[in-house]
Amino acid sequence: MKICWVGLGRMGLPMVSHLRRAGFDVHVHDISAMARAAAEEDGLTVASSLADAARGADVVFTMLPTGDHVRKVLLESGTDRLVGPRTIFVDSSTISPSEARAIARDVERDGRQFLDAPVSGGTEGAADGTLTFMVGGAVEAFEQVRPLLAAMGKNLFHLGGTGCGQSAKTVNNMMLAMNMASLSEAVVLAERLDLDARTFLDVARTSSGDSWVLRHFYPIKGTVPTAPVNQDFAPGFTASLMRKDVGLALDAARSHEVRVPMTHQAAELLDRLIAAGQGQLDFTALVKLASGEIDSGPDTLTTPAAD
């Protein structure tokens, strides 16, 4: 089985490295020369072109920033014409469910199959091989690629038809953004109430305020080793990409007539962070708004509601 992998960023490179270590025949490509060099250093087989990576592939993985990138790689570049007749395309990017369904329609015209398979777990999960995969598409295709996904993640979920994986990821990241925004405000308030960060973290971990972001992203230096604050918010997952994902959630909520005022608030906070020139920092830099390091604009959360 030949596997083509396109996209060697902060998530893609550690993910595909697990496939190589599991013994799969993987051929990788990225438009970035720096990313290709990092892949070579990691022992991966780096193709000189996208065409070389894709030619004759049985499975093609994409891990790219946007739906437009996925469409260009799979369709506009001619990749779909270079692969085998029964090739399965697996997109682990985070794009909208409607984009996933549109790409699938074009990919599957000639009998090939498409799975939308976004992941959760961040760069830590990618490095550890403990990601969660949320998969939409034909269950038969899912079962065929299960061994590949299992080499990169420990939680594999088939959620239904094409687009269901992206729907799950959209809602998951919607919650992640709001959780991080609320945690940012809470830890700054706790600090200014003279609570020791480590002690309060222990309290919250065993109380009703516990959460995944609390345990992994607590944004006070020296408190949680995995938190991006310890690396001056080097991403990770950039604020700009999180804003893209929150936008996907807002679009979905609008089209399904769901009221999401808290999601709008999270989007507004991310917009302020980006407007302050912090869009390429990890999204956990939201704490800078709560602390006042960056002007967050009107403090709508403490403004009394009108009668």
Residues annotated as catalytic are: 169
Cβ-based neighbour number of residue 124 at 10 Å: 13
Say if residue 254 is exposed, middle or buried (CB neighbours under 10 Å; 0-12, 13-18, 19+). Answer: exposed
